[in-house]
Structure 1
Amino acid sequence: MARTIEDPRNARSKRTRDALLDATRTILETEGFEALTMTAVAERARVTRRAVYLHFNSRSELVSALFDYLAEREGLAESTDPIRDAPDAVAALRAWVRHLTTYHPRLMTVDRAIERVRHTDADAARHRETVTEAQLANCRLLAERLAAEHRLAPPWTVRSATDMLWGLISTDLFERMLSGRGWSQRRLETHLLELYLSTFVQDPPSIERSPSGE
């Protein structure tokens, strides 16, 4: 079978593609989404515009590929696997908080750049939708596990807990505590976990026993 320019076995092609996506990330972090053009990416990656178009037909396609690139580069799967592999809902929630406080801060600048223009730029809006869908899926998983194990505290429902868990993935929150108040990631993890446990988790239901003790 003939290889294509996107075939991962083509090491040179993959290096170029990664360089383009890395350039995209750098532009977002240093200049903002408004500065993201195919020409700017080519200049930042030190390749020709033709090389950019060999890999991505448009800026929209380039931005669409950014989510998977960042996930691979920052280890999203490795960070979220402990959530799914946790033995119970509370352990999953602990893993979730650890993920948030270690993974999310590394992408805050990109997130801020996209958030600023998502209402006026279709490419930014689509990227935000992709991120939101992934985040909501994890939040829903947590809420459903808590409910299934009868650990979801009232008055929360799966839907309302999902929404609130998602709402707490706030760049403002992380920036204010880490930068504004000088908290360490460890301190943020400790107190954020306490907030989550006291808000969403109730004690397991007691087991009713018959008078005979059986």
Structure 2
Amino acid sequence: MGWFRLRAARWRARTRPAPVRDASSVDDRELHDRVSELLVRELGGADAATRAPAPVSPARIASWMSDNQFSYFVDNDGDLGGLWRGRLFYFFLFGEQSEILQVRGQWHRELAIERLEEVLDLCNEWNAERIWPKAYARVRDNGRVHVVSEVATDLEHGATDAQLSQLLFCGLSTGSMLFDALDERYPDPAGTAP
């Protein structure tokens, strides 16, 4: 029982509020500093933003690719794309204000239509166990199954360069993880019926 009382006394001493002075004697600056100190102590500090969020544009995405020494292209529709580890990724902007960033990748191989059910099961398992990327399968006009990864983020209020970089790397790295899992599950020749 003595240990508990000692702990309770220490807790009361730590959580006891500081003596309060007359409110009229505390100026706004001091009050602001006290609240800031309390927030830093309770929540931890945060680095000041180096730049305010700005709208995402194809030019910013292309600049990010160049800064990271990634090769990219612009297709006939004006969409940015590139190959990462032999896999095709596109970077789309959707929405009325082009505020939704989507990083969409496609696996570099196709599967036989007879494997559709097992690929759909794999995509459902992936989506149930992970946040990113969304995984889905499409059947092309030629009857072949093609698997897609997708990471989409609403950036209505823009993004800093650091935030944009994190989102783009997230789309590429998690898409690559999905495609690595597919490579492991379906060694060549995956295009033949089971």
State the TM-score, normalizing by the size of structure 1.
0.24
Q: Say which structure, 1 or 2, has more relative contact order (CA 8 Å, 6+ apart).
A: 2
Structure with the higher helix share, 1 or 2: 1
State the TM-score, normalizing by the size of structure 2.
0.26
